[in-house]
Amino acid sequence: MSTLSLNVVILAAGQGKRMRSQLPKVLHPIAGQSLLARVIDTARALHPHRMCVVYGHGGDQVQAAFAQTDDLSWALQSPQLGTGHALLQAMPHVSGEGATAATSAVPPAPTCGNSLTLVLYGDVPLTKVSTLKRLLATSGPGRLALLTAHLHDPTGYGRIVRQSGKVQRIVEQKDADDAERAITEINTGILIAPTEALARWLPTLGNRNAQGEYYLTDIVALAVAEGLEVTTAHPDATWETDGVNSKLQLATLERIHQRTIADALMESGVMLADPARIDVRGQLHCGTDVAIDVNCVFEGSVTLADGVSIGPNCVLKNCSIGAGARLAPFCHIDSAEVGPESVVGPYARLRPGTVLGREVHIGNFVEVKNSQIADHSKANHLAYVGDATVGSRVNIGAGTITCNYDGANKFRTVIEDDVFIGSDTQLVAPVTVGRGATLGAGTTLTKDAPPDTLTLSRAKQLSVPGWKRPVKQKK
């Protein structure tokens, strides 16, 4: 591999009309991350000296999506006159002449004599870093390195024309004759060229071809004419270089990507009820003997410790589930921690700031928000626990509600260890239930409940002797 510095240019000015969306194509997500963000992450893994995105359509939206990113520069291409014209717009950013960095955090470009430029497409999201490293290994100062692939059906792609095995040029589908169209080796579009050579070649490209565009692919013939060596490398799988032009193609790549993740999970010992019915939109870390039933969605960073079992149809986002814990079907967990051996659901919702201790039971239709519930406590049916600190061995009866909000401000409820809360109780915060206290069913607690005492607020029960039910009057 070369010790030269590497620039990356990501072509992303295409309109993406076939997405039929207000959202620019490259901002559409695969596994929860935009196409362009994926390409940028892949490029970053190569530690490039500079990265430049060529943008056009929806440029404001695209740049706004990367406003927090300080290692990118942006080159506008308007109008879009082809891939060669697109790369030309990026040259000031990578060639060291007239470079205008988007921010001061972008280092100055090296003089172009000792750098290489890798061209990626913003709508080709799944290229593996290992594939690009392989291409990089064939590149060098006197070389043009092309990533090519052999396809059963090469229709639509530029074809790699070889003579005696040596690459001579690339011909686009629309410009190709029958013999050229029969070639099955195609141009993926990804290439690495000496920056200095690009700076010379790109301004000389013409557009006298079937599409009236400035083709980047025409640099191959220029390289050959100058005596440069044209090398090729191939991706492991053809989907690595598949682009997204439509919602159908987006969904197809999403499924391929999800299947790759599912395969890796199973390879590491996770039991998936069906590898075709899991969606991981972030990082899922699993211990040993983890079992995941069908239709679960994992977002952000999720950790499942040893022996965790996740029932069908659960959604987990930025959370950690402790060893041996079990989620019954249809749980929604967001920014929460579930302690070891706990049992949650079915139909439970844990909202941000929830921390459950060991062997906590949260049952059906229970919502917990910004609350800590300590070891061995239970809220098994139909409850809202919000902004509460709950001790150990507490039993929260069905229908219990912490009234944490007065319409303007939020207040905390404190429930100490060994408390028993009867069904249908309202705890009007701020309020504290003392250790070992019992609240009678139906209580509306507005003042602190003393420890080890029964507290209840309830109208006295009354039975009316001789009372008769009304009867329908005859008309």
Contact 58, 36 (CB under 8 A): no
Contact letters for ligand UD1, residues 141-160 (x by CB under 6 A): ----------------xx--
Asked whether position 172 contacts ligand UD1 by CB under 6 A, the answer is yes
Closest-CA residue to 44 (of 118, 150, 140): 118
Contact 443, 458 (CB under 8 A): yes
Window of 78-86, 226-234, 347-355, 432-440 that interacts with ligand UD1 by CB under 6 A: 78-86
Based on the shown chain and the rule CB under 6 A, indicate whether residue 91 belongs to the binding site for ligand UD1. no
CB of 176 to ligand UD1, least distance (A): 10
Query: Rule CB under 6 A: is residue 238 a binding residue for ligand UD1?
Result: no
| Minimum distance of ligand UD1 from residue 67's CB (angstroms) | 21
HSE-CB for 412 with a 13 A CA cutoff: 10
Question: Token match 């053809």: residue?
Answer: 238
Cis peptide before 79 (omega within 30 of 0): yes
DSSP H or E stretch at residue 444: strand 444-445
Least distance (Å) from ligand UD1 to the CB of residue 128?
17
CB 80 → ligand UD1: shortest distance, Å? 3
- Residue 370 sits in the site that holds ligand UD1 (CB under 6 A): no
Look at residues 171, 167, 168, 189 and name the one whose alpha carbon lies nearest to residue 235.
189
Spatial separation of the C-alpha atoms in residues 71 and 236, rounded to whole Å: 29
**Among 92, 243, 282, 450, which residue sits at the site for ligand UD1 (rule: CB under 6 A)?**
243
Q: How far apart are CA 2 and CA 224, in angstroms?
A: 21
H/E run at residue 453? none
Residue 80 interacts with ligand UD1 (CB under 6 A)? yes
Q: How many residues bind ligand UD1 (CB under 6 A)?
A: 27
Binding ligand UD1 (rule: CB under 6 A), the pick from 23, 65, 81, 224 is 81
Distance between CA atoms of residues 325 and 310, nearest Å? 9
Range in contact with ligand UD1 (rule: CB under 6 A) among 109-117, 132-140, 185-193, 399-407: 185-193
* Binder of ligand UD1 out of 4, 13, 305, 333 (CB under 6 A): 13
Amino acid, single-letter form, for residue 393: R
Residue 185 binds ligand UD1 (CB under 6 A):
no
Q: Which is nearer to ligand UD1, 193 or 302 (CB)?
A: 193
Q: Does 122 bind ligand UD1 (CB under 6 A)?
A: yes
Q: Which of residues 426-465 bind ligand UD1 (CB under 6 A)?
A: none
Catalytic, 257? Answer: no
The separation between the first and the last C-alpha atoms of the chain, rounded to the nearest angstrom, is: 100
Q: Any contact of residue 240 with ligand UD1 (CB under 6 A)?
A: no
In the complex, minimum distance from the CB of residue 217 to ligand UD1, in angstroms, rounded to a whole number: 4
> Closer to ligand UD1 at the Cβ: 58 or 391?
58
Q: 335, 308, 301: which is closest to 322 by C-alpha?
A: 308
Site string for ligand UD1, 303-332 (x = CB under 6 A): ------------------------------
410 DSSP assignment: B
Nearest to 344 by CA among 357, 360, 320, 322: 360
Residue of 109, 118, 144, 186 that binds ligand UD1 (CB under 6 A): 186
Catalytic-role residue among 150, 234, 332, 381: 381
Q: Does 125 bind ligand UD1 (CB under 6 A)?
A: no
Nearer to ligand UD1 (CB atom), residue 30 or residue 449: 30
Of 334, 294, 304, 340, nearest in space to 317 by CA: 334
Q: Which of 151, 148, 152 is nearest to 162 (CA)?
A: 148
The yes or no reply on residue 11 touching ligand UD1 (CB under 6 A) is yes
Closest CA to 311 of 295, 329, 294, 333: 329
- d(CA 119, CA 165) in angstroms, rounded, equals 24
Using CB atoms within 10 Å of the CB of residue 50, give its burial: 0 to 12 exposed, 13 to 18 middle, 19+ buried.
buried
* Chain position whose Cβ is nearest to ligand UD1: 158
Nearest distance from C-beta of residue 238 to ligand UD1, angstroms:
11
Q: Which is nearer to ligand UD1, 78 or 446 (CB)?
A: 78
- Give catalytic residues, as residue numbers: 381
Which residues of this protein are in contact with ligand UD1, per CB under 6 A?
Answer: 11-14, 54, 77, 80-83, 85-86, 121-123, 157-158, 170, 172, 186-189, 215-217, 243
